[in-house]
């Protein structure tokens, strides 16, 4: 199969010089504003005077991005994009960039209804990470992955190899694993930085300004209803629970709710712990991640049938709050999830008296 290369290739480099610079020429503000108006929904109109905010100033300055320690060169805003994982797909849709998508993969669930129309006609390449052949078939110029592991020999291909096909790559910065790049801890400010960075790559900075403002307003409406309460973030696991630890998106959302994470002392994003650890830490509230492959109801059955946890007050009194799996990883769903979880907490009407 012949593979398209839309960009000149650089000569082979030594291992110490393998990084490529991600340089994006930002489209003129008026062009970005017109595009936004064309693909945004009725409730997502371009800002007034967006010629100054939706793109760079006249003259189009390049943007350089060091992404999880990997740098690539992009000559212009990408036009044929494949997204891997819900977080990357939904980031594109939230920025009104559905018209750039030529394929999606590894969805964790349906996208929010407000974005669904943008996916009409966009093929799903795989329920998991697509293989390199399936990826190359749609001739992308940019692949946006939710995890670093999306780019490997046995998945979509290594980033250097894809660059040799003229395909640039980007990983959600929240998922960087190298200690030099991993957010420690993850915060909403860092998430908003990611929104701005992607918007710069695609020449739609005004849309990120609006998205971030909307999400800040959501967070400002939450008055920390969990203040004084402890919580466990139960992501998955039956033999041993896989929980939200101290530095990832779960910790970020629990902090916004005023909840104290009972496993916040673990210096990781998520971690496997023992059921005896859950009993020892006795959370006031349990956050249940609802996934198609491991539902909230299954988790409740696990908690109630396990002799170690069935007597916990949070279990006997059903102090559960829930969120869908796609909202559990760092992305555009986190702020709305905080608002929803806050309302669930208020309905539990616990105050701080339950804290042990």
Q: Is 341 left (phi over 0), alpha (psi -120 to 50) or beta?
A: alpha
**76 and 187 share a domain?**
yes
Report the run of H or E that residue 354 belongs to, with start and end.
Answer: none
Does some domain include residue 176? yes
Q: Out of 199, 219, 239, pick the residue that ends a domain.
A: 219
Instruction: Supply the pLDDT for residue 355.
Output: 55
**197 and 244 share a domain?**
no
Dist. CA 186–CA 176, nearest whole Å = 11
Does some domain include residue 355? no
**53 and 193 share a domain?**
yes
Average pLDDT over residues 229-237: 98
Instruction: Supply the pLDDT for residue 351.
Output: 74
Dist. CA 169–CA 291, nearest whole Å = 27
**90 and 207 share a domain?**
yes
Q: Spell out the residues 6+ positions from residue 89 whose beta carbon is closer than 8 angstroms to its own.
A: 83, 101, 104, 107, 111, 119
pLDDT tens-place string over residues 321-355: 999 999 999 999 999 999 999 999 999 999 765 55
Does some domain include residue 353? no
pLDDT tens-place string over residues 138-190: 999 999 999 999 999 999 999 999 999 999 999 999 999 999 999 999 999 99
Does some domain include residue 8? no
**50 and 158 share a domain?**
yes
Looking at 19-93, which runs of residues are DSSP E strands? 22-25, 62-65, 81-84
**183 and 229 share a domain?**
no
Looking at the chain, which runs of residues are DSSP E strands? 22-25, 62-65, 81-84, 101-105, 124-126, 142-145, 168-171, 230-236, 242-244, 260-261, 270-272, 285-290, 320-324
What are the backbone dihedrals phi and psi of residue 123, each rounded to the nearest 5 degrees, phi first?
-70, 145
How many residues in total does the chain contain? 356
pLDDT tops 90 at residue 253: yes
Quick check: 63 and 86 in contact, CB under 8 A? no
Q: Out of 177, 196, 219, pick the residue that ends a domain.
A: 219
Dihedral over Cα of 153, 20, 269, 234: its sign:
negative
Q: Out of 195, 219, 243, pick the residue that ends a domain.
A: 219
Could you count the other beta carbons within 10 Å of the beta carbon of residue 86?
A: 24
DSSP 57: P
Q: Which domain holds residue 284?
A: 224-348
**141 and 206 share a domain?**
yes
User: How, if at all, do strands 270-272 and 260-261 pair?
Assistant: unpaired
Q: Is residue 26 classed as helix, strand or coil in its secondary structure?
A: coil
**33 and 145 share a domain?**
yes
Average pLDDT over residues 3-13: 35
**139 and 263 share a domain?**
no
Could you count the other beta carbons within 10 Å of the beta carbon of residue 181?
A: 17
- How many folded domains does the chain comprise? 2
**190 and 303 share a domain?**
no
The residue with greater pLDDT, 64 or 96, is 96
Q: Spell out the residues 6+ positions from residue 39 whose beta carbon is closer than 8 angstroms to its own.
A: 96, 97, 98, 99, 118
The model's pTM: 0.84
First to last CA, the chain: 64
**174 and 232 share a domain?**
no
Percentage, residues of the chain above pLDDT 90: 79
CATH of the domain at 303: 3.40.50.1980
**64 and 162 share a domain?**
yes
């Amino acid at each position: 199969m012949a593979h398209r290369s839309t960009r000149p290739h650089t000569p082979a480099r030594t291992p110490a010089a393998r990084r490529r610079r991600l340089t994006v020429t930002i489209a003129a503000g008026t062009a970005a504003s017109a595009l936004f108006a064309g693909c945004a929904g009725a409730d997502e109109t371009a800002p007034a005077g967006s010629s100054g905010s939706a793109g760079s100033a006249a003259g189009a300055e390049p943007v350089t991005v060091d992404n999880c320690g990997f740098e690539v060169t992009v000559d212009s805003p990408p036009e044929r994009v494949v997204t891997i994982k819900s977080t990357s797909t939904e980031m594109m849709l939230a920025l009104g960039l559905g018209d750039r998508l030529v394929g999606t993969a590894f969805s964790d669930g349906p996208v929010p209804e407000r974005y669904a129309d943008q996916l009409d006609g966009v093929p799903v390449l795989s329920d998991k990470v697509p293989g390199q052949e399936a990826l190359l078939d749609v001739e992308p110029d940019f692949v946006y992955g939710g995890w670093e592991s999306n780019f490997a020999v046995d998945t979509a291909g290594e980033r250097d190899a894809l660059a040799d096909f003229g395909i640039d790559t980007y990983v959600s910065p929240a998922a960087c694993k190298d200690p030099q790049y991993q957010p420690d801890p993850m915060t909403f400010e860092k998430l908003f930085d990611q929104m701005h960075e992607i918007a710069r790559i695609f020449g739609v900075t005004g849309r990120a300004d609006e998205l971030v403002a909307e999400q800040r307003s959501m967070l400002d409406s939450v008055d920390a209803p969990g203040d004084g309460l402890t919580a466990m973030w139960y992501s998955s696991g039956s033999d041993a629970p896989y929980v939200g630890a101290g530095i990832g998106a779960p910790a970020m959302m629990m902090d916004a709710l005023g909840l104290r994470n009972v496993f916040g002392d673990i210096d990781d994003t998520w971690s496997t712990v023992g059921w005896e650890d859950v009993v020892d830490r006795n959370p006031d509230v349990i956050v249940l991640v609802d996934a198609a492959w491991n539902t909230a109801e299954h988790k409740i059955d696990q908690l109630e049938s396990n002799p170690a946890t069935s007597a916990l007050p949070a279990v006997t009194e059903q102090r559960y709050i829930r969120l869908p799996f796609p909202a559990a990883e760092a992305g555009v769903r986190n702020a709305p999830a905080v608002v929803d979880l806050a309302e669930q907490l208020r309905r539990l009407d616990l105050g701080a008296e339950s804290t042990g």
